A and B are shown apart, each in its own frame.
Chain A
Amino acid sequence: MKTPWHIAASFTVFGACLMFAWISRALTAGSAAPFTDAAAETGLEFRHFIGATGSYYTPEIMGSGVAVLDYDGDGDLDVFLLQGAMLDKTKSLADLLFPAPERHFPGNRLFRNELIPTGKLHFVDVTDQAGVAGNGAFGMGAAVGDYDNDGYSDLFVTNYGRNMLYHNNGNGTFTDVTAVAGVGEDSFSASAAFLDYDRDGYLDLFVTRYNAFTVQGNKKCYNYAGGREYCGPGDYASLASKLYHNDGHGHFVNVTQQSGIGSATGNGLGVVCADFNGDGWPDIYVANDKTPNHLWMNQHDGTFKDLALFSGAAYNADGKALSGMGVTAADFDGDGDEDIFITNLTGEPNSLFQNDGAGSFEDVTNTYGLGQASFPFTGFGTLWFDYDNDGLLDLFVANGEVRVIDSQRGTPFPFRQRSQLFHHEGKTYREVASGGVFDQLHVNRGAAFGDIDNDGDIDIVVTNANGPVRLLLNQVGARNHWLEAQLRGVKSNRDAYGARVTLYRKGRTPMWRRVAADGSYLSAQDPRVHFGLGGDADLAKAPIEKLVITWPGGASETFDAPKVDQLLRLVEGSGKPMK
């Protein structure tokens, strides 16, 4: 079968896009703001709809997410946005507290990026052609992965309602295979992730569930002073996450109980899959809202054990189960292991857990200056990424309240907060007081990260509950050098999720990134790994020596020193980048 990324034309156009990116960079050089919102000007017009009628249904305040994926395999990232719905079927549009926007289409939306082949960053709504609008449920999150290894990104959608799996047909359309695949859980699911937990070359599926809220069982909840608010996580019973094993024939087997995942419940929201103890097998970390976080350590036999308590990653340093929302894992301190960052509620610090390499964690939030900075915010989407391409992993946090903000009382949807960007300064993080998009108040929720304009730096799509989506284009990263790599597994799962890409530079500690699309909150990321390499002088001082990939199956492969400022396509077992 001809796979999309064999299309030579794409590569030619990719070169043109790079040219476009360089021109853009020249035009924006000198701009103070590291990110600008380009959603409207690029046609990414989407307004989230919560369908609120005054009943304070929990999904209204928790959703929704976004995925960036190259669904048509043309070499640029398309955007899939989750949409809410009116949950109370006994009410009519006239009962809505916030009228549906003029150009509102019910259901989730898929926007195709026209960067390739037009050279211009522009989005076109292709939902109807693609057939991914959903099933009328309240859309929560998305996970992206090529579960059948046919070369096309498939799409899993979590809902308040029945979840859905869309098989990518490779011709711009998807087929709803939920029933055949056996993954149509009908409850209140949140983030999901594809991972190959048994390393059999097929992506399995992990789905978090928030709690036992139902429309019929909706409770009236009040704040400390007696005012009506959305209910908290503990007002409904917590649930166990779900794990599905991919049998390699288009069907998933629910292994929640036999794998041990069902042995503990929690208010699951964020999930990230990574090898936390360096044994070569993917583990699973779940950020739970007000219940202890879970660290499911892979036992190599199809089972998992929750070792969060003894590893030090269940609670913060005060022994408190915080309100975990979004989560990201990466080696922020460059010592070779996966650390964890979690976003939490207002009045709680976010959590930075530093790994000692063996899967034992220490809460170092305050040591890195991330404690007080997050105190007045409720964080959701987040990711470690190198926004300025200086080689160090920075942090973005999408903030938005879940309880009424007094100073916004009386205004529509009074939960607006600004998002935050933290720059890694080596020994600490510093909030970048950048103004512009970081001064704007929104009810930020999901955040998906990727190089959307293919210019060598990471951009962000941020969702906004009951508001418009934002496309935050990076204006500063491409001033430095960079390298991106797209991996293709052959023995391993085709997306190579879980592979470790290590970049060796002369005189420097090796820098590595994990191939993944998970993390953040209800969102799916660009699976291409990205390295910031610094400026000319830095690169001259420490040139690249080689690139080493540890594939998910365990095999290691070395690639010669690549040229910088390009996207490499690396196929398992090939030994050299594809042309």
Chain B
Amino acid sequence: MAWRFVLTTCLAWSFARGQSTTGLPPELVWLRQIEHEEFEPAVGKQIRHAYDQLRNQPQSTEAAGKLGMILQCYGKYELAEACYRRALGLKPDAFRWAYYLGNVEAWIGKTRDAIGDIQRALKIDETYTPARVRLAELLFETGDMDQSRQAFEAALRRDARLASAYFGLGRVLGARGDWLQAVESFRRACDLAPRYAAAHYALAMAYKKLGDPAKMREHLEIYGRVKESPQPAEDPLMNEVKSLYMGGLSQFAKASGLMREGKTKEAIAEFESAVRVNPRMVMAHVDLIALYGKLGQIQQAEEHYRSATALDPGWGEAYYNWGLILLRQHQTDDAITAFSEALRVNPYYADAHIQLGALLDETARSKGAQRHFRLALDDNPASREARFLLGRSLIRTGEFNEAIAQLSKTIDVDDEKTAVCMQTLAVAHQRAGNLNPALHFLELARDRARARKMDQLAAQLQEQLDQVSKEALAR
């Protein structure tokens, strides 16, 4: 029997040794791919720290669950599922792990399992209403409208302030053909969360079904205004997962929002923070070129231009933004080089074609300029700027008929540029000898300028009008 004891002891020892080598229970061994995967520096540190915690404490529910949350946060649902399953195996009555497990299962297509695990979570704690909403959504997505409706209604009985539940209930009611009730439900969602884009869109579509185009348009317009806004985040547990994100993209997103709002200094601070977290984030460098350029801080702009092009020479936007700065510095030749470089890496870059064309036109290279304006229009036929510049350049080269054709397409929109477009069209007509149309467009331009309180332009247009009138009389 002694040999059997020795063998058993050896096996147990080698098993224990094997486990301590990987540190991972067998069902989590495939998490080892984390050791070799490429991450942003801060993200890699965060993931590997949580991974090491789990290796050091393989029996810890918290370590398994925490790693699952981090992995879920980075979209690694299959790996997260394994972690949550482990956590739930260690602590079967933990609501949190059952709920998270259900959520990641839904992501990877294990819908029935997802529904089962969220129902299991609700048996552990029926008071967490967002889980009931999530269950209702999953039931809806599988086409089980009756169960979905019941779950949404149950959620709303517990908490009538959940916009997402009203939105979901509206979807179910619409699927049932009850559009009147659906409108009511979507409207409540919009009342609770006025910037809830999905609810406004759904409300617009519901009004369409009810044959109310005015209401439909009203809510499509609101949808258009709010669709980039953050959407209701009514699930604290899922918010907790999202809050674990440590990549540079969160700062980048914040900075982009600030940039859109015109808060240049604040945006710079956030972009700089993003590149500190992830120095290879080229798009942040690219935006920093533009922002520093706007503030006239050329040295900083140049540093980011050099970083961006060294990290990835494929970003045409880097050359373009740098070209704009050079343009403001009146370094025409260097600006031409920068825009040309932007077009080398991206021949479809309409804005770069426009800038390069404008520079060529100003330096008496109108034919080259026109080629770029035409290429810009080829890539973006809706570009009014390219069409206007092409028309203006064609006047310079004496091609009045085509200039008229191009410029005529620039005056449909009524904005602060319309008067100038009309003025240029009038010039084309004047040069072509069509004095009546010239007078007509000058009058229109003057009236537009006056209406927009552009007094200087209006006065200039009046002078031009007087001259052309005299010319016409002289004929």
Instruction: Report which A residues bind B (CB closer than 8 A).
Output: 187, 212, 214, 216-220, 222-228, 236-237, 239-240, 256-257, 262-265, 309-310, 312, 315, 317-320, 347, 349, 360, 362-364, 366-369, 371-373, 375-377, 405-407, 409-410, 428
Contacts and interface: CB of A to CB of B under 8 A. Distances in A.
B223 to A, nearest CB: 6
Interface stretch (B33-41, B264-272, B393-401, B436-444): B33-41
Interface stretch (B125-133, B297-305, B376-384, B459-467): B376-384
Given A224-B245, A264-B382, 17 more contacts: A212-B347, A219-B314, A226-B43, A237-B349, A257-B381, A318-B202, A319-B197, A319-B223, A320-B198, A347-B107, A349-B141, A363-B205, A366-B143, A366-B171, A376-B109, A410-B36, A428-B143
A239 B379 contact: yes
18 contacts: A216-B345, A216-B346, A217-B315, A225-B39, A225-B43, A225-B247, A227-B38, A236-B346, A239-B379, A257-B377, A310-B216, A310-B220, A317-B202, A317-B205, A362-B205, A369-B143, A371-B140, A372-B138
Interface stretch (B60-68, B70-78, B325-333): B70-78
A102 B175 CA distance: 53
B348 to A, nearest CB: 4
Interface in B100-116: 106-109, 111
Which 8 A-B residue pairings sit nearest by Cβ, starting from the closest? Answer: A319-B201, A376-B109, A226-B40, A262-B381, A217-B345, A369-B143, A212-B348, A371-B141
The listed residue with most B CB atoms (<10 A of its CB), out of A225, A368, A428, is: A225
Interface string B76-91: 1111000000000000
A263 B412 CA distance: 14
A364 B142 CA distance: 12
A226 B171 CA distance: 36
Contacts of B227: 319
Contacts of A223: 74-75
A332 B75 CA distance: 35
Contacts of B278: 226
B145 interface: yes
Interface in B216-250: 216-217, 220, 223, 227, 245, 247, 249
Contacts of B454: none
A212 B43 CA distance: 31
A432 to B, nearest CB: 16
B379 A376 contact: no
Nearest to B70: A225
A262 B350 CA distance: 14
Contacts of B202: 317-319
B367 interface: no
Nearest to B245: A224
B312 A375 contact: no
A371 B114 CA distance: 14
A39 to B, nearest CB: 27
Contact of A318 (B75, B198, B247): B198
Contacts of B312: 219-220
B194 interface: no
Most buried by A among B171, B217, B348: B348
A474 to B, nearest CB: 26
A419 to B, nearest CB: 14
B107 A228 contact: no
A222 B138 contact: no
B357 interface: no
A576 B311 CA distance: 69
Contacts of A319: 197-198, 200-202, 223, 227
A425 to B, nearest CB: 11
A214 B347 contact: yes
Contact of B76 (A225, A239, A366): A225
A320 B348 CA distance: 26
B288 to A, nearest CB: 17
A268 B467 CA distance: 51
B123 to A, nearest CB: 22
A571 B220 CA distance: 47
Contact of A219 (B44, B79, B209, B282): B282
A227 B208 CA distance: 43
A162 B43 CA distance: 42
Interface of B: 30, 33, 36-41, 43-44, 47, 74-79, 106-109, 111, 138, 140-143, 145, 171, 174-175, 197-198, 200-202, 205, 208-209, 216-217, 220, 223, 227, 245, 247, 249, 278, 280, 282, 311-312, 314-316, 344-350, 377, 379-382
Contact of A216 (B30, B145, B198, B314): B314
B33 A410 contact: yes
A312 B77 CA distance: 32
A372 B346 contact: no
A495 B175 CA distance: 39
Contacts of A237: 346, 348-350, 379
Contacts of A220: 280, 282, 311-312, 314
A9 B21 CA distance: 74
Contact of B346 (A217, A318, A363): A217
Contacts of B33: 406, 409-410
A372 B141 contact: yes
A225 B316 CA distance: 24
B315 A219 contact: yes
A417 to B, nearest CB: 10
B408 to A, nearest CB: 14
A212 B351 CA distance: 13
A360 B76 CA distance: 38
A223 B249 CA distance: 10
A186 to B, nearest CB: 9
Contacts of B141: 349, 366, 371-372, 375
Nearest to B350: A237
Contacts of A216: 314, 344-346
Nearest to A260: B381
Nearest to A375: B109
Contacts of A318: 198, 201-202
Contact of B37 (A227, A236, A320): A227
A65 B305 CA distance: 39
Contacts of B223: 319
A407 B247 contact: no
A377 B316 CA distance: 32
A238 to B, nearest CB: 10
Contacts of A347: 107
A371 B142 contact: yes
Contacts of A377: 109
Contact of B249 (A224, A264, A310): A224
Contact of A218 (B205, B314, B382): B314
Nearest to B281: A222
B75 A224 contact: yes
Given A212-B346, A312-B208, A371-B142, A222 B311 contact: no
A375 B141 CA distance: 10
Max count, chain A CB within 10 A of own CB: residue among B38, B141, B197, B217? B141
A187 B33 CA distance: 38
A367 B143 CA distance: 5
A264 B383 CA distance: 10
Contacts of A428: 143
B379 A212 contact: yes
B406 to A, nearest CB: 11
A224 B208 contact: no
Contact of B142 (A226, A309, A372): A372
B205 to A, nearest CB: 5
A227 B39 contact: yes
Contacts of B377: 257
B222 to A, nearest CB: 11
A405 B202 CA distance: 33
Contact of B345 (A214, A264, A409): A214
B38 A265 contact: no
Given A220-B314, A319-B201, A366 B175 contact: yes
Nearest to A318: B198
Given A217-B316, A240-B381, A320-B198, A224 B247 contact: yes
